[in-house]
């Protein structure tokens, strides 16, 4: 039986590039993965996610998914690889076909969860994002069954029927061609049914996401529920070997259970709200920057003194010095400690000159009570200046900019002393004149008596 029109089967599914085989089945899977990642990246960026994250998650999800798909197929169809006349090594030949979608989704999801945890993003947000891409990847991957002429349905006499050559038709346990299909050339193209169904599922979940603002894994749950509905009736058309439970194929029971779980999640998460993390933080918190050392005036131990010189104290301005000297008090506090030590010596000169002027007038200085008071005041000033100089000497010694380090005053220090000495002498002249006036008044009072 052969219809007038049908879908022809490919003459081959493997090409050789030198000694490298290029298998159509593997190409379909690779193209599907690329499309899924591309769609996922666009959708992730549209919701404000960090670019490149979907690719990072795919690095975990794809290997886990391939492993899970192969394990599910080998476990559920173990009779093909183990037992009398079977070679267990064939279980590793993934390029010959045999990936169970249920195992691929299960372990693929585990890999995605690991990747999301490592990147610090929401697992549910990622699942919702990649759901349409996964459906499209399945739609493309199913064409691998076409190139391998496998997983077709019951005989069909229609223009869309798929032609299957005798080498790929069902066989008995002894390897002979099943007589029921010996003269049947066309069958249901179940790969095409599932491919078109998956495209419809991708469109459905994108529309529902926009229309109902689904989030927190409900988009992915809708994808799973919709896919299992199609898989149930498509699986019922297939005639390849499979385990049956209560008259139904194992994959039909699996589809029913997964469908129930997806619908239950849609109901339980119907009111779930809240933010979902879509931006990536660093894998590890950056190390804290070392705190700056506290400022100190002391140079580090073992470092040369010039490494951290202390700022020398600035001498008082000349105007301030003159004002302090004119007041007669606190003049010895201005300037450096060395100048303070020299101050008593400079103060003696004006007083001696005043005594000589008084002695020239014929009045004995010893009998002048004003003289005694002035001398007492001058002695107190000199003692105060000497005490201040002694108190300031440790600071001068600790200062790396003092004369002990340089070996003596430089020329600028000597010029400062000369200027200060001249200013002190000029400020002492009015004081001496005042003392002379006081002595004159005291002498006049004495003569009157």
Q: What percent of the chain has pLDDT over 70?
A: 61
Residues 306-319 pLDDT 10s: 444 444 444 444 44
- Average pLDDT rounded to a whole number, residues 48-71: 95
CB 184 within 8 A of CB 1: yes
Q: Nearest 5°: phi and psi at 239?
A: -120, 10
Per-residue pLDDT averaged across 410-417, rounded? 45
CA distance 420 to 425: 9
Q: Which two tokens stand for residue 169?
A: 């038709």
CA distance 225 to 229: 6
Q: How far is CA 6 from CA 97, 112, 160, 283, in A?
A: 24, 41, 5, 55
C-alpha distances in Å from residue 305, one per residue of 103, 155, 274, 313, 419: 75, 100, 63, 18, 31
User: How far, in Å, are 267, 327, 339, 434 from residue 378 at the CA level?
Assistant: 103, 14, 17, 14
pLDDT in tens, 216-234: 999 999 999 999 999 999 9
Q: What's the rounded Cα separation, in Å, for the pair 349 and 375? A: 12
pLDDT of 177 > 70? The answer is: yes
Separation of alpha carbons 209 and 216, rounded Å = 11
Structure tokens at 403: 């004369």
DSSP string, 99-124: --HHHHHHHHHHHHHHHHHHHT--HH
From the number of C-beta atoms within 10 Å of its C-beta (0-12, 13-18, 19+), residue 186 rates as buried
pLDDT, tens only, 83-113: 777 888 988 888 777 889 899 999 999 999 9
Q: How far apart are CA 242 and CA 305, in angstroms?
A: 91
Whether 187 shows a pLDDT value over 90: the answer reads yes
In DSSP terms, 7 is beta-bridged to 162
Phi (first) and psi of residue 120, to 5 degrees: 75, 35
CB 397 within 8 A of CB 319: no
- pLDDT tens digits, 348-365: 444 444 444 444 444 444
- Report the pLDDT value the prediction gives residue 174, as an integer from 0 to 100: 82
pLDDT, tens only, 45-58: 999 999 999 999 99
């Amino acid at each position: 039986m052969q219809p007038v029109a049908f879908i022809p089967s490919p003459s081959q599914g493997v090409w050789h590039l030198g000694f490298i085989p290029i298998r159509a089945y593997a190409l379909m899977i690779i193209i599907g993965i690329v499309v899924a990642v591309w769609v996922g990246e666009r959708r992730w960026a549209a919701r404000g996610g960090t670019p490149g994250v979907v690719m990072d998650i795919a690095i975990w999800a794809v290997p886990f998914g391939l492993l899970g798909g192969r394990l599910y197929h080998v476990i559920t169809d173990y009779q093909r690889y183990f037992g009398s006349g079977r070679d267990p090594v064939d279980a590793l030949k993934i390029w010959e076909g045999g990936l169970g979608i249920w195992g691929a989704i299960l372990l693929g999801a585990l890999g995605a969860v690991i990747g999301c945890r490592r990147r610090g993003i929401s697992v549910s947000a990622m699942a919702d994002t990649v759901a349409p891409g996964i459906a499209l990847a399945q739609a493309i991957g199913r064409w691998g069954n076409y190139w391998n002429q496998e997983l077709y349905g019951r005989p069909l006499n229609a223009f869309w029927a798929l032609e299957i050559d005798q080498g790929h038709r069902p066989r008995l346990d002894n390897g002979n061609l099943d007589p029921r299909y010996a003269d049947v050339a066309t069958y249901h193209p179940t790969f095409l049914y599932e491919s078109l169904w998956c495209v419809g599922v991708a469109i459905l979940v994108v529309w529902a996401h926009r229309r109902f603002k689904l989030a927190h894994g409900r988009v992915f749950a809708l994808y799973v529920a919709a896919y299992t509905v199609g898989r149930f009736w498509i699986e019922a058309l297939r005639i390849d070997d499979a385990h049956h439970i209560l008259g139904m194929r194992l994959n039909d029971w699996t589809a029913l259970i997964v469908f129930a779980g997806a619908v239950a999640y849609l109901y339980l998460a119907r009111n779930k709200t809240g933010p979902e993390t879509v931006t990536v933080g660093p894998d590890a918190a950056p190390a804290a920057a070392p705190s700056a050392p506290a400022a100190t005036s002391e140079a580090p131990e073992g470092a040369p003194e010039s490494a951290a010189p202390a700022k020398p104290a600035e001498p008082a301005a000349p105007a301030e010095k003159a004002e302090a000297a004119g007041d007669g008090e606190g003049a010895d506090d201005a300037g450096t400690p060395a100048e303070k030590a020299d101050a008593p010596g400079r103060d003696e000169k004006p007083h001696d000159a005043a005594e000589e002027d008084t002695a020239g007038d014929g009045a004995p200085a010893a009998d002048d009570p004003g003289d005694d008071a002035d001398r007492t005041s001058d002695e107190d000033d000199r003692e105060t200046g000497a005490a201040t100089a002694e108190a300031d000497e440790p600071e001068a010694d600790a200062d790396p900019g003092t004369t002990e380090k340089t070996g003596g005053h430089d020329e600028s220090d000597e010029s400062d002393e000369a200027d200060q000495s001249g200013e002190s002498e000029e400020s002492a002249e009015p004081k001496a004149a005042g003392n002379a006036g006081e002595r004159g008044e005291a002498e006049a009072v004495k003569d009157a008596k």
